[in-house]
C-alpha cells in the first residue's frame, strides 16, 4: 500500500465503482494520457493489488435471496484435516465467503441460496461431507443493510 500514490488510489477507487470503465475515461479522470494510465493498471495487476475485474450480480433478482452465516467448531485441527476441509468447502458454489476464525468458532462461511429448503439441502451436504465437525450453527440474515466490495482506500 505504501507504494501507491494518489493516482493509483484514484484509479483503484474508480475501478471498484465501475470495473468496465474505459481506459480513456480512467486516464482523463486522473489527468493522464492512456499509455501511462495503462502502464499503471498493468503494474497494479502484476503486483496482485488489482486481482481481477468481475461483474456483481443481484442475488435477489436471480432467486438467491436467502443468506446464511454458518459457524463451525471442530475437534480436529490436523494439517491433513484442514486441507481436506478447505478443499471440500471451497467446492460448494453456495459458499460465498469462507474464513478461519479466532474466538469461539473455528470457521465461518457466508452461504447464498434460494430459500430455507435449499439451505437445508446445503447443510446436509456439508455435514455429511466432512468428518470431525463438533458444532455447526447457522444464523440467517433478514435484510441486507450494507454490502460493498469496495475497499476503503
Does pLDDT of 10 surpass 90? yes
Residue 110: name the closest of 131, 134, 92 by CA: 92
Report yes or no on whether pTM surpasses 0.75.
yes
In this predicted structure, what is the pLDDT of residue 72?
A: 98
Query: Domain coordinates of the chain in residue numbers?
Result: 6-47, 60-141
- How far apart CA 114 and CA 120 sit, in angstroms, is 11
Does pLDDT of 1 surpass 60? no
Binned at pLDDT 50, 70 and 90, residue 141 comes out as: very high
3-state SS class at 98: strand
| Cβ(62)–Cβ(112) below 8 Å | no
The reply to whether 60-141 shares the fold of 6-47 is: no
In this predicted structure, what is the pLDDT of residue 138?
A: 98
Asked: is 6-47 a CATH 1.10.10.10 domain? The reply is: yes
CATH (residue range 60-141): 3.30.70.920
Binned at pLDDT 50, 70 and 90, residue 3 comes out as: confident
List pLDDT tens digits, range 103-114: 999 999 999 999
In this predicted structure, what is the pLDDT of residue 133?
A: 96
3-state SS class at 109: strand
List pLDDT tens digits, range 52-95: 999 999 999 999 999 999 999 999 999 999 999 999 999 999 99
Quote the cell numbers at residue 111: 452461504
Quote the cell numbers at residue 64: 438467491
Amino acid at each position: 500500500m505504501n507504494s501507491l500514490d494518489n493516482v493509483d488510489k484514484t484509479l483503484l477507487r474508480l475501478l471498484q465503482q465501475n470495473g468496465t470503465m474505459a481506459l480513456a475515461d480512467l486516464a482523463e479522470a486522473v489527468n493522464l494520457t492512456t499509455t501511462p494510465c495503462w502502464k499503471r493498471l498493468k503494474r497494479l495487476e502484476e503486483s496482485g493489488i488489482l486481482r481481477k475485474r468481475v461483474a456483481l450480480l443481484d442475488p435477489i433478482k436471480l432467486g438467491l435471496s436467502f443468506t446464511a452465516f454458518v459457524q463451525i467448531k471442530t475437534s480436529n485441527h490436523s494439517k491433513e484435516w484442514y486441507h481436506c476441509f478447505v478443499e471440500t468447502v471451497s467446492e460448494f458454489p453456495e459458499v460465498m465467503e469462507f474464513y478461519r476464525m479466532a474466538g469461539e468458532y473455528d470457521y465461518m462461511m457466508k452461504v447464498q441460496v434460494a430459500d430455507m429448503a435449499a439451505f437445508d439441502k446445503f447443510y446436509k451436504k456439508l455435514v455429511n461431507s466432512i468428518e470431525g465437525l463438533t458444532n455447526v450453527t447457522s444464523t440467517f440474515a433478514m435484510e441486507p443493510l450494507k454490502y460493498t466490495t469496495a475497499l476503503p482506500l
